Chain A
Amino acid sequence: DAGVIQSPRHEVTEMGQEVTLRCKPISGHDYLFWYRQTMMRGLELLIYFNNNVPIDDSGMPEDRFSAKMPNASFSTLKIQPSEPRDSAVYFCASSLGPMNTEAFFGQGTRLTVV
């Protein structure tokens, strides 16, 4: 397996534009996580899915953020409208189960909102 695949690797957009980040989890993994990484706050869990169903989105900062998982092999994180303070590295991770398993991270999407 190629691991967790994220696209794009880098995204530069203007304030107010819509941004969509994409993730393909490892095949067979039932859990998918979206994290945001910043210097100030480190790694923060935004939302996670179990079997394509959103379970906990309490980490999503604002209504401008939304995430979907239409099937077991694809998820998106959308920001609309984007703001400069959204600039960060966004990671997708997946795991085989919730307990006693490792979370495998993708390479991340570096988002810059100007």
Chain B
Amino acid sequence: QQQVKQSPQSLIVQKGGISIINCAYENTAFDYFPWYQQFPGKGPALLIAIRPDVSEKKEGRFTISFNKSAKQFSLHIMDSQPGDSATYFCAASKDGGATNKLIFGTGTLLAVQP
């Protein structure tokens, strides 16, 4: 049973455009929602994270939007750049963001065309 569903599987965006990746979760006990970025040949690395007490978190060009009632959250990349081309994973965890309880989505391969 997949507890975190991620879409789309792949995404092509033009340079300067907005990239949007969506995730939906089922377990209402989740209380920590990170996004990980993975470049080819590298391991995933934490990009940005949000907790359910806020509806939005912004760090530079990256924004997480969180909808608790819909049990959905999304990553927005503004002014997308070719260097943003990577695989993005959403994840969810409970018990205060326990790393031993992270559930990952299946990933979105983002290609930003110059």
Q: Tell me whether A42 and B106 are in contact (CB under 8 A).
A: yes
Chain B interface residue number, banded: 10 to 19
Please give me the residue from chain A that is nearest to B45 by CB atom.
Answer: A105
Q: Tell me whether B43 and A93 are in contact (CB under 8 A).
A: yes
CA distance A104 to B106 in the complex (A): 19
Q: Tell me whether A55 and B100 are in contact (CB under 8 A).
A: yes
Q: Tell me whether B100 and A42 are in contact (CB under 8 A).
A: no
Interface centre among B99, B102, B105, B107, by most chain A C-beta atoms within 10 angstroms, is B99
Flag the segment in A11-19, A72-80, A94-102 that touches B. Answer: A94-102
Residues of A that sit less than 8 Å from B by CB? 4, 31, 33, 39-45, 48, 50, 55-56, 91, 93, 95, 97-108
Residues of B that sit less than 8 Å from A by CB? 6, 41-46, 89, 95-100, 102, 104-107
